[in-house]
Amino acid sequence: MSSRSICRHDRTVKVSVTRRASVAPRALDPLLGLVEGIDRRRRRIRPARAGALIGVERTQYRGPALDLPDGGRLDPGAAVWALHFDNARLRRFAAENGWPTRGYATAADDLRAVAARVERMPADERPTAIGGITLLAPLTRRLGFSVLPRPRTPRTRLEDWYLRSLLARWSPAGRDRLARGHGELRAAAAWMSTDALLRRYGPPPE
């Protein structure tokens, strides 16, 4: 456990950074960057559009059968498009333009580009849903995704640690970003069915 100091009413208070901020040591940042780059290439992530914050990975759903609140359903093996933030661009964007207001607008435009691509596909070739896992639950919920808790397993705990480490590496606030909020910072599942995507972000009916 580590701690940081803040000043409040002319006195210094120690604030503990507990498991919410459990991340890779700073010395591993270069290795973390290498792993992230290799992982993105392996997944063949492509930008949703030129200058996008969001990238798209075509893959299959590997979780249990899931009925989505928006009326969709995910079955094991279903075709999905996993979404990934471009962390390097996100960091520059946050530093230059502010976050989350402009970030929300840009991400919404990215999803309109995704919807336009899906709309042009034959119905039987479209993904069942788009989404993935995220630490940015408030933003994804605002964008229209169903945000759902994930079971606590060794794998999900490792994924949480990895995503927290990336957040600490790429956030303009660095590791101080992890001290915000309460409780352990966990990734959530965020999904939107294709029908819901087209209703919300697709072109208006002619």
Q: Residue 56: which of 135, 101, 115, 137 has the closest Cα?
A: 115
Q: For residue 206, is it within any domain?
A: no
Q: For residue 163, is it within any domain?
A: yes
Which helix (H) or strand (E) segment is 44 a member of? none
Specify the pLDDT at position 60.
97
Contact 93, 87 (CB under 8 A): no
> Average per-residue pLDDT in the chain?
82
| Enclosing domain of residue 75 | 25-201
Q: For residue 7, is it within any domain?
A: no
- How many percent of the chain have pLDDT more than 70? 77
At residue 9, does pLDDT exceed 50?
no
CA–CA gap between residue 66 and residue 157 (Å, rounded):
21
Q: Which backbone phi and psi does 142 adopt, to 5 degrees?
A: -65, -30
CA–CA gap between residue 178 and residue 18 (Å, rounded):
10
Q: Which backbone phi and psi does 57 adopt, to 5 degrees?
A: -120, 125
Specify the pLDDT at position 46.
96
Q: For residue 161, is it within any domain?
A: yes
CA–CA gap between residue 146 and residue 167 (Å, rounded):
22
The reply to whether the predicted model has a pTM over 0.85 is: no
Helix (H, G, I), strand (E, B) or coil at 52: coil
Q: For residue 16, is it within any domain?
A: no
CA gyration radius, the chain = 18
E strands in the chain: 2-8, 11-17, 46-47, 54-60, 66-67, 73-74, 79-85, 129-134, 146-148, 188-193
At residue 179, does pLDDT exceed 70?
no
Q: For residue 82, is it within any domain?
A: yes
Of 27-41, 85-99, 173-187, give the lowest mean pLDDT range. Answer: 173-187
Q: pLDDT band at 20, cuts 50/70/90?
A: low
* Number of domains making up the chain: 1
Specify the pLDDT at position 30.
80
Q: For 79-125, how does the pLDDT look when each residue is reduced to its tens digit (9 = 90+)? A: 999 999 888 887 777 776 556 678 888 999 999 999 999 999 999 99
Going by their DSSP bridges, the two strands 11-17 and 2-8 should be labelled as antiparallel
Range list of H helices, 120-150: 137-142
Contact 129, 61 (CB under 8 A): yes
Q: Which backbone phi and psi does 45 adopt, to 5 degrees?
A: -75, 130
Q: For 123-161, how does the pLDDT look when each residue is reduced to its tens digit (9 = 90+)? A: 999 999 999 999 888 889 999 999 999 988 999 888 888
